[in-house]
C-alpha cells in the first residue's frame, strides 16, 4: 500500500514536469528587434562625399548662426534594415520637424544624413538651445544638442524729448552703431513714418560729419548715404522732429496723453534697441505698452522732469512699437477753467420789491407749505375748528405760491447751466 502511494507521487511529479516542458515548447509571437552598431555621429555646417562614396563632414560644430545655410545631422552605423526617425526640437521644447525613413545598409558601415535649411527661414529666428533625437524603430538611439546664435550687426539708441503735449512739440535722436563685420555699408535704410525734418551726421573723432539724407514720403523710408563703402565699425546720428503720435485720452481737462512710436525693421538680423523718453515738466507716467510681442521693462527716473527708459531686441522684418501714457499736470493747470456761476443771474433783484430771486424762491416755498397745510386742516374730514375761511381761495393762494417757487427755481437752474456752458 505504501509503495503504491510513492509510485503515484512520483508519477504526478513526472507528469507536471512534462506539462511544463510542453508549455515552454509552444511557439511564441514574434517580437520585433533590430541590431545596429553606431560608429560615429554629429552635426556639421557642410558635408561632402569622396569619389569612393565615403562621407566627409565639414565644419563639425554644435554652434550655428542664423546666416548658416544648413544644419546637417549624420550618423555612421552598421545595420541591416531599420526605420530611422529624425526629430528636431526648438529651444522652447516644441517639435519643429520630424521625418522617418526606412534605411538599409548592404555593405557596412553606412552613413545617413538629414538636414534642414537655416538661413532666411523660420528656424533662423528661433535662437537658443536646440535638440535633435535619433530614433530607430521607435527607440531613441542618441540625442544631439546645438545652439543657433543671432548675428548682431548694429545697435540703436533712441532719445525723445517731448517739450509740449499740445500743440505737440517733440524732437528725437537716433544713434546707430554699426559693428565691424564682413558686410559693407555704403548706405543705411530705415522706415520712420512718424518723423520729419530728418538730418544725419557721423561722429568721427568727436567731430560731426554731415551725411546726405533722402526721404521717400510714400513709403516713409529714410536713406542715409555714408559717402563711401564702410566695413569697419562706426556711429552716426539721425536728428528729426516727431510729426505725430500724440493724442488726448478721456476728458481734455484731465491732461492725459498717449505718446506712440512705430517702426519697421527691414533687416533680417535682430537689433538691440534702447529708448529714452523725456516728458514735459511735472508729468506723471501712468503706463507703458508695447505691441507686436514687444516686452517693456521700464525704468522711471522720478524727478521734476520725468524720464522713462526701456530696452528690447527687435527681430528683423517686423513691425513693432510702444505707447507711453502720462498725465501732464502743467498743461492741465494752465487749461482747466473753473466753473463759475454768475451771481447776478442767481441773485437778480426783483423790480419794486426789495428782494431777489433767491429770496422769492425761499419765501414762496415756505408760504406754500403753510397755506397748503392750513387748507388741509380746514377740510370737512377734520373736526370743526370754528374758523370761517374760504378753503377754495386758500388753495388758490397756495397754488400761486407753488407756481412762483417753481418758476424762480427753474430760472435759477437754467442760469447755472448756461454759466457752466459759457465757462
- Give the tens place of pLDDT for each residue, 152-211: 888 999 999 999 998 899 999 999 998 887 778 888 888 888 899 999 999 777 778 899
Does residue 20 lie within any of the structural domains? no
Predicted TM-score of the model (pTM): 0.63
Q: What is the mean pLDDT of the chain?
A: 79
Same domain, 97 and 221: no
Structural domain harbouring 324: 154-335
pLDDT tens, residue by residue, 47-82: 888 776 678 888 999 999 999 999 999 999 998 888
* Residue 278 zone, left/alpha/beta (φ > 0; ψ -120 to 50; rest): beta
3-state helix, strand, coil in the chain (%, to 5): 20, 50, 30
Q: Establish if 168 belongs to a structural domain.
A: yes
- Kindly indicate the confidence band of residue 278, based on its pLDDT and cuts at 50, 70 and 90: very high
306, 335, 364 - which closes a domain? 335
Residues 199, 130, single domain; the answer is: no
168 and 257 within one domain = yes
pLDDT band, residue 257 (cuts 50/70/90): very high
Report the alpha-carbon distance of residue 423 to residue 419 in Å, rounded: 6
Last residue of a domain, one of 129, 149, 169: 149
Same domain, 326 and 182: yes
- The stretch 360-377 carries a mean pLDDT of 67
7 domain-assigned: no
User: What DSSP letter does each residue of 102-157 carry, written as one string?
Assistant: EEE-SSS-EEEEEEEE-TTSGGGG--EEEEEEEEETTEEEEEEEEEEE----EEEE
Check pLDDT > 80 for residue 359. Answer: no
Residue 162 and residue 140 share a domain:
no
For 360, the 3-state DSSP assignment is helix
Identify the CATH number of the domain in which residue 305 sits. 2.60.40.1730
- Does residue 275 fall inside a structural domain? yes
Residues 319, 415: one domain? no
Q: Are residues 234 and 364 in the same domain?
A: no
**Domains: count for the chain:** 3
The predicted model gives 230-258 an average pLDDT of 87
Per-residue pLDDT band for 379 (boundaries 50, 70, 90) equals low
**Which of 119, 149, 179 is the last residue in one of the domains?**
149
Judgement on whether residues 273 and 355 belong to the same structural domain of the protein: no
Do 187 and 317 lie in a common domain? yes
Amino acid at each position: 500500500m505504501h509503495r503504491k502511494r510513492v509510485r503515484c507521487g512520483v508519477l504526478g511529479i513526472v507528469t507536471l514536469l512534462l506539462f511544463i516542458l510542453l508549455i515552454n515548447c509552444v511557439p511564441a509571437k514574434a517580437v520585433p528587434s533590430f541590431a545596429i552598431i553606431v560608429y560615429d555621429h554629429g552635426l556639421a555646417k557642410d558635408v561632402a562625399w569622396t569619389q569612393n562614396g565615403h562621407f566627409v563632414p565639414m565644419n563639425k560644430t554644435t554652434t550655428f548662426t542664423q546666416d548658416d545655410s544648413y544644419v546637417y545631422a549624420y550618423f555612421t552605423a552598421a545595420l541591416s534594415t531599420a526605420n530611422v526617425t529624425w526629430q528636431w526640437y526648438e529651444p522652447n521644447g516644441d517639435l519643429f520637424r520630424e521625418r522617418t525613413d526606412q534605411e538599409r545598409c548592404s555593405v557596412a558601415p553606412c552613413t545617413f544624413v538629414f538636414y534642414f535649411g537655416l538661413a532666411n527661414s523660420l528656424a533662423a529666428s528661433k535662437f537658443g538651445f536646440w535638440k535633435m533625437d535619433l530614433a530607430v524603430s521607435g527607440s531613441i538611439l542618441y540625442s544631439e544638442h546645438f545652439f543657433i546664435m543671432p548675428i548682431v550687426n548694429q545697435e540703436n539708441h533712441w532719445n525723445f524729448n517731448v517739450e509740449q503735449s499740445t500743440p505737440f512739440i517733440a524732437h528725437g535722436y537716433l544713434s546707430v552703431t554699426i559693428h565691424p563685420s564682413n558686410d559693407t555699408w555704403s548706405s543705411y535704410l530705415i522706415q520712420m513714418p512718424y518723423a520729419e525734418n530728418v538730418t544725419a551726421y557721423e561722429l568721427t573723432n568727436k567731430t560731426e560729419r554731415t551725411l546726405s539724407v533722402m526721404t521717400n514720403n510714400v513709403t516713409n523710408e529714410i536713406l542715409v548715404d555714408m559717402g563711401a563703402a564702410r566695413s569697419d565699425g562706426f556711429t552716426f546720428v539721425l536728428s528729426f522732429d516727431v510729426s505725430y503720435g500724440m493724442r488726448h485720452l478721456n476728458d481734455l481737462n484731465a491732461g492725459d496723453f498717449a505718446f506712440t512710436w512705430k517702426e519697421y525693421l527691414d533687416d533680417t538680423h535682430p537689433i538691440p534697441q534702447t529708448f529714452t523718453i523725456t516728458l514735459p515738466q511735472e508729468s506723471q507716467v501712468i503706463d507703458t505698452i508695447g505691441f507686436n510681442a514687444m516686452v517693456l521693462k521700464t525704468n522711471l527716473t522720478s524727478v521734476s522732469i520725468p524720464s522713462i527708459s526701456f530696452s528690447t531686441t527687435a527681430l528683423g522684418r517686423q513691425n513693432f512699437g510702444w505707447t507711453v501714457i502720462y498725465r501732464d499736470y502743467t498743461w492741465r493747470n494752465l487749461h482747466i477753467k473753473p466753473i463759475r456761476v454768475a451771481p447776478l443771474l442767481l441773485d437778480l433783484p426783483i423790480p419794486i420789491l426789495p428782494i431777489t430771486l433767491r429770496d422769492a424762491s425761499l419765501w414762496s416755498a415756505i408760504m406754500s407749505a403753510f397755506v397748503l397745510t392750513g387748507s388741509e386742516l380746514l377740510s370737512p374730514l377734520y373736526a370743526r375748528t370754528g374758523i370761517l375761511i374760504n378753503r377754495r381761495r386758500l388753495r388758490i393762494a397756495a397754488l400761486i405760491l407753488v407756481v412762483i417757487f417753481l418758476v424762480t427755481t427753474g430760472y435759477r437752474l437754467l442760469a447755472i447751466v448756461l454759466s457752466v456752458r459759457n465757462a
